[in-house]
Chain A
Amino acid sequence: MSENKIIYMDNNATTRVYQEVLDAMLPYFKDQYYNPSSMYSPAGAVHKEMEKARGEVADFLGCDPIEVCFVSCGSEGDNMAIRGTIEAYPTKNHIITTRVEHPAVIETCKSLERLGYRITLLDVDNDGNINIDDLKKAINDNTAIVSIMYANNETGVIFPVKEIGEIVKNAGAVFHVDAVQAAGKLPLIMKDEPYIDMLTIAGHKIHAPKGIGALYIKKGTKLRTVQTGGHQERGRRAGTENVPYIIGLGKAASMVKAELPKFIEHTSKLRDKLEEEVLKRIKEVKINGKGAKRVSNTTNISFKNIEGEAILLLLDGYGICTSSGSACSSGTLEPSPVLQAMGVPFEYAHSSTRFSLSLDNTMDEIMYTADAIEKIVARLRDISPYRD
């Protein structure tokens, strides 16, 4: 493998924008610049294309187009779902989520906690699974919304959305699912998952650009507008539509939907091989979340007694792009809250490294990466004062 080729294994952070997606977007920056809300016919044509994109996203999510609300990113979708629900149910003051959510959900809940809302954070076990009984115990008439992720960004662990959803519906609460890391990795068919009231996706995780996302809002869901102003998106989110990006999201959604079976087959083969090689070659390795159901493209590996930022930078030296749950690489001083919640011991937690694959990765890259990891771990363990 050539030295200066970039091997991109950080697809849970962001994905390559597909050429076809970019091509589809470009006219809407130039000739097709009209405001879709205007009355003249050139604007009407833009409006029609935007609605076509809505249809593509609806198709991707297995829902009706009027259930798709475009937003600027995953974080906005999460904020809108949680805050909008809280405002819609003024007599309820309880929110349930988990300890391993994305900051877009956890921090939103924390900010509501300061306003007087009660938050329950469900624990996870060593594999990253929640205990359904904890949810049953926590949920009550006062619970306005339960927000959980479909798949975890760091470990790829999939939550039992159906089981959770049924409990939430029985309790009469709203169910929001952050599917930012599940979109493009699992089939999402809303008409088969009627217990989901709202679900967030983000464009840049499915080969559209950064700065666009969508919130699925099931017909009949009571939600207050968080961003007030104009009547766009059926009055649910004010602001002139980001037309080129919406077009891009539509195109990406239809491409990613078509290649999903291939994606699952390809990335699980590569991921399994990478794990197999690492486990075979290196002692004292932990694959975080391996005991749970995971999305096919993600593996989160910890190496005992070394530190993750050092691994990440040495991998970068090999041209391999990954991310780390180590304290040092995140700018905080504590290792990833997700791994801490899973009870990963400290001698492992500091070194967790996430490899997240796409259809672009090859078996050659996997073997090259396994070689690189083997050398890097040996080298850092050599420097480490901890050894067994």
Chain B
Amino acid sequence: MWEYTDKVKDHFINPRNVGEIENPDAEAMTGSIVCGDALKLTLKINKDTEVIEDAKFQTFGCASAIASSSILTEMIKGKTLDEAKKITNKDIAMELGGLPEEKMHCSVMGMETLEKAINNYRGINVEEDEHDEGAIICKCFGVTDTKIKRAIRENNLTTVDEITFYTKAGGGCGACKVKLEDILNEELAERERAQKNAPLTTVQKIKKIEEAIETVINPMLKMDGGSCKLIDIEGNIVKISFKGACSSCMASKNTLKGFVEPKIKELVDKNLEVVGV
């Protein structure tokens, strides 16, 4: 028998906001019938304020999947998209008074669906986004390395079992467990290095910059129809070129110094300087 908190039980037995909004401003679905759980989220969003005025869900899944979806709709109603975007799976689990560790993937499903819905509203092509998001590591559950790394970082995971609890990767045939271990070790080494604050090698810098561009910067630029790419790096000078709408846009300089550079400083190394080429 699973140990569920009263709040989980309450939201499972009396789920809030069940259903589908007609003509939603944003919608998203994650999961599949094969994996054993799926969530569909529909949102009504105020065009001027970007406030989520209504949220409804439909879930196929176990008690904690239903409860996670239900509480998520409660949490996001009345929030702006920017505020809602900050909600992590940990927040969802915390709001429920905790979830059994084996069930953490239910909260991850909530977070992912919300992100997908917001991207959908902002016109970011979700399918394409998913495509360049990373390589599939776990075939049984279709989990990418990006998702695994993110779960490790955001939840401070330290074992392969925990990765399974949070992402389901490794919970099927088990064939991917060796790869999970490799990713975990890489992340743990990275975490240790970051704690010691050792300077990055050039290769590490390149890897991290490319990752930042792929996962954070380009998704934002894509909203305006553009994207950027790392060309070279010399010491602490990062050379970047813009593509699409950005390259011809008068505001590209602002984009560079006002958005790309601060992001790269934040995510990679504060000593870096970004120039356009």
Contact = CB atoms under 8 A, between A and B. Distances in A.
Contacts of A308: 62
A335 B36 contact: yes
A208 to B, nearest CB: 24
Given A328-B61, A383-B59, A384-B58, A307 B37 contact: yes
Given A307-B37, A333-B172, A335-B36, A383 B62 contact: no
27 contacts: A307-B60, A307-B65, A309-B2, A310-B66, A314-B13, A327-B36, A328-B62, A329-B62, A331-B102, A333-B140, A333-B164, A333-B168, A334-B171, A335-B36, A346-B33, A346-B34, A346-B36, A347-B33, A350-B33, A383-B15, A383-B58, A383-B59, A383-B60, A385-B29, A385-B40, A385-B59, A386-B38
B209 interface: no
Interface in B150-179: 164, 168, 171-172
B60 to A, nearest CB: 4
Given A309-B63, A310-B61, A334-B172, A385 B39 contact: yes
Interface in B134-148: 140-141
A306 interface: yes
Contacts of B60: 305-307, 383-386
Contacts of B59: 383-385
A327 B62 CA distance: 9
Interface string A68-107: 0000000000000000000000000000000000000000
A238 B103 CA distance: 42
Contacts of A307: 36-37, 60-62, 65
Contacts of B61: 307, 310, 328
Interface residues of A, number: 26
| Size band of the interface chain B makes with A | 20 to 34
A317 interface: yes
Given A383-B59, A386-B38, A386-B60, A333 B12 contact: no
Contacts of B18: 382-383
Query: Which 9 pairs from chain A and chain B are nearest by CB?
Result: A333-B171, A328-B62, A385-B58, A309-B62, A385-B40, A384-B60, A346-B34, A327-B36, A347-B33
Contacts of A346: 33-34, 36
A310 B171 contact: no
> Which secondary structure characterizes the binding site on chain B?
mixed
Contacts of A155: none
B141 A333 contact: yes
Given A308-B62, A328-B103, 8 more contacts: A310-B12, A326-B36, A329-B2, A335-B36, A346-B34, A383-B18, A384-B59, A386-B38
Interface string B111-152: 000000000000000000000000000001100000000000
Interface in B36-82: 36-40, 58-66
A313 interface: yes
A4 interface: no
Contacts of B140: 333-334
A333 B62 contact: no
A332 interface: yes
A324 to B, nearest CB: 10
Contact of B38 (A309, A317, A328, A385): A385
Interface string A288-312: 0000000000000000011111100
Interface string B14-43: 010010000000000100011011111000
A384 to B, nearest CB: 4
A156 to B, nearest CB: 24
B154 to A, nearest CB: 20
Contacts of B29: 385
B26 to A, nearest CB: 16
